[in-house]
Amino acid sequence: MARRRGRIGNALAVLAGARADILQVAPGSRAKFVALGGVLLSTGGLAVLSAAFAVHMAVGAVWPVAILIGLFWGLVIVNLDRMLLVGMAHDSSTKRNLLMAVPRVGLALVLGIVISTPLTLQIFHKEIDTEIVALQAEQSDAYKKSLDSDARFAGLPDLRDRVAAEQAIVASGGDGDTTLLPLTGAMTAAQTAYDQALATQQDLQNKAQCELNGTCGTGEPGTGEAYVQARAAADAQAAVVASAKSDLDAATAALSSGQARSASQAASSLETDQAELARLTADQTRLQQAFDATNADNTGILIRLQALGRLSDTNSTLGFAHFMLSLLFICIELLPVFMKTLLNFSPATAYDKLAEIRDDGDISVETMQQQTRREVERAQQELLILAEKERVDRQKEAVLARRRARLQLAAERQVVPADLQAEDDEPIRKPWDTGPIFEVAKNVVRSLRPRAGDRVDAAS
């Protein structure tokens, strides 16, 4: 069990950037690196959960797939955090430490915000789901208003009013048509005139009857002069009543004709208007239903962030909790870099000193190896030069041997070729003076070229 814990601790220390060979010499620093490795694993675990929640919310992936993607993302985050730690070696210069720490803290801050967002959304998911319903309802109402103001449906309210008016006209037999108001007014006036004429006639007849009975007027019963005048006035009013009746009948007939005509026109227009109203209403309803279906499926990260932002603005308690929770996750992500920065500002530990010594030793060994390689290469080049000199010397000895043989042969025959005499006049070089290689090669070729005199002697 202790051995297993030791292996786990060693793995965490290596994960934090420790060198196992130095830890064996300086075991006092092991706990520090094990703690840093544990923090790295913690940030990786948070990254796994964050990515899994984000993928599940954003694309609706099933949990096994989301967890696999989360594991990959957690591995990436651990690798990035480890890179940030390994790249911050101990340095006694405050300025260099700050220059190394600032970009790493900035990158860690960005990673912390990215990791903390899905986790915060998941923690407040119940409140966010409720707010999403309200946001979707608002978006649906806003889309309905945009459809009402759309040019395609701009005339829909007027068309609805026109259809309702036409239905009222048809139902009332044309009585509700506003264009018949003049005819209605004429009939009303004729009815009023007829009623007044009829009332006047009735009054005049009553007066004539009263004179006849003697109950009014002169008070004398019988058909006297007063009665005759009252009767004449009543008879004259009867003509007025007949004329008013005729006007009333004409106005009534004109109104009835207008109502029948209006009802017929309304009935003929109603069918066309109702068809157009049904088409436009169906199109509007179809667009609204399509938007509502899409809006109902809009439960991704963006609308959740919008809902969380509005909840934070309207609810101070939830806003404070949101801020503190995000700050917690960000601090966890920043913790390894902060710890490494603080350790760099502290005095060098035994591990740091040993690491510097090992690095200096590695540099010295590598420098010596490079020097040795250069010396070996230089020796190889010198050997090649010596070998080339030896080859040239052998060629010169061969050339001189052939020259002596030819001179001896010429001496025996008392004939010395001019070219050989010229070659004899040349000074003999020292064995170690190779001379130009091209000059030697030219002389060798010249000496090996057969002469005409030699061919003649050979033939004889």
The pLDDT tens digits for 345-376 are 777 788 878 888 888 888 888 888 888 888 88
Q: Give the CA distances from residue 148 to residues 153, 155, 189, 275, in Å, rounded to whole numbers and listed in that order.
A: 6, 9, 44, 19
> How many other β-carbons are positioned within 10 Å of the β-carbon of residue 32?
16
Arithmetic mean of pLDDT, 295-314: 87
**pTM (2 d.p.):** 0.52
Q: Is residue 240 part of a domain?
A: yes
Q: Are residues 455 and 413 in the same domain?
A: yes
CB 25 within 8 A of CB 348: no
CB 17 within 8 A of CB 33: yes
Arithmetic mean of pLDDT, 335-342: 81
Query: DSSP 3-state helix, strand, coil percentages of the chain (rounded to 5)?
Result: 85, 0, 15
Spell out the alpha helix ranges (H) of 87-155.
94-123, 125-148
Helix (H) or strand (E) holding 317: helix 316-345
Q: Is residue 131 part of a domain?
A: no
Q: What is the pLDDT of residues 183-194, one digit of tens each?
A: 777 778 888 887
Spell out the alpha helix ranges (H) of 214-224.
none
Q: Which residue carries 């009534």 as its tokens? A: 252
Q: Please give the share of the chain, as a percent, with pLDDT higher than 90.
A: 4
- Identify the pLDDT of residue 424: 47
Q: Are residues 156 and 294 in the same domain?
A: yes
Q: Is the pLDDT confidence value at 196 over 90?
A: no
Q: Is residue 224 part of a domain?
A: yes
More confident residue, 142 or 433: 142
Q: Are residues 220 and 173 in the same domain?
A: yes
Q: Are residues 290 and 419 in the same domain?
A: no
Q: Which residue carries 């006209």 as its tokens? A: 169
> Which of 109, 135, 125 has the alpha carbon at shortest distance from 53?
125
Helix (H) or strand (E) holding 24: helix 20-25
**23 falls in which pLDDT band (50, 70, 90)?**
confident
Give dist(CA 85, CA 57) in Å, integer. 32
**71 falls in which pLDDT band (50, 70, 90)?**
very high
Q: Is residue 384 part of a domain?
A: yes
Arithmetic mean of pLDDT, 326-332: 86
**158 falls in which pLDDT band (50, 70, 90)?**
confident
Q: What is the pLDDT of residues 212-234, one digit of tens each?
A: 666 666 666 666 677 677 777 77
Q: Are residues 392 and 320 in the same domain?
A: no
Q: Please give the share of the chain, as a percent, with pLDDT higher than 70.
A: 83
Q: Is the pLDDT confidence value at 378 over 60?
A: yes
Arithmetic mean of pLDDT, 149-170: 81
> Which of 116, 169, 152, 80 has the alpha carbon at shortest distance from 326?
116
Give dist(CA 142, CA 113) in Å, integer. 32
Q: Are residues 279 and 335 in the same domain?
A: no
- Identify the pLDDT of residue 454: 42
Q: Are residues 16 and 58 in the same domain?
A: yes
Q: Is residue 36 part of a domain?
A: yes
Q: Is the pLDDT confidence value at 280 over 80?
A: yes
- Domain, as residue range, for 271: 152-298
- Identify the pLDDT of residue 195: 83
Name the average pLDDT for the chain. Answer: 78
Q: Is the pLDDT confidence value at 397 over 50?
A: yes
Token pair in block for residue 18 = 């420790």
CB-side neighbour CA atoms (13 Å) of 235: 6
> How many other β-carbons are positioned within 10 Å of the β-carbon of residue 197?
21
Q: Is residue 72 part of a domain?
A: yes
Q: Is the pLDDT confidence value at 459 over 50?
A: no
Of 1-15, 137-151, 205-219, the range with the lowest mean pLDDT is 205-219
Q: Are residues 294 and 176 in the same domain?
A: yes
Arithmetic mean of pLDDT, 77-89: 82
CB 14 within 8 A of CB 31: no
Q: Is the pLDDT confidence value at 431 over 70?
A: no
More confident residue, 61 or 4: 61
- Identify the pLDDT of residue 214: 64
Q: Give the CA distances from residue 373 to residues 360, 369, 379, 434, in Å, rounded to whole numbers and listed in that order.
A: 20, 6, 10, 29
- Identify the pLDDT of residue 286: 92
Arithmetic mean of pLDDT, 51-55: 88
CB 139 within 8 A of CB 310: no
Q: Are residues 372 and 246 in the same domain?
A: no
The amino acid occupying position 1 is M
Number of independent structural domains in the chain = 3
Q: Is the pLDDT confidence value at 326 over 60?
A: yes
Give dist(CA 148, CA 284) in Å, integer. 9
Q: Are residues 268 and 220 in the same domain?
A: yes
- Identify the pLDDT of residue 452: 43
Q: Is residue 138 part of a domain?
A: no
More confident residue, 90 or 378: 378
Q: Are residues 454 and 335 in the same domain?
A: no
Q: Is the pLDDT confidence value at 72 over 90?
A: yes
Spell out the alpha helix ranges (H) of 346-451.
350-412, 418-425, 437-448
Q: Are residues 71 and 171 in the same domain?
A: no
- Identify the pLDDT of residue 414: 61
Q: Is residue 132 part of a domain?
A: no
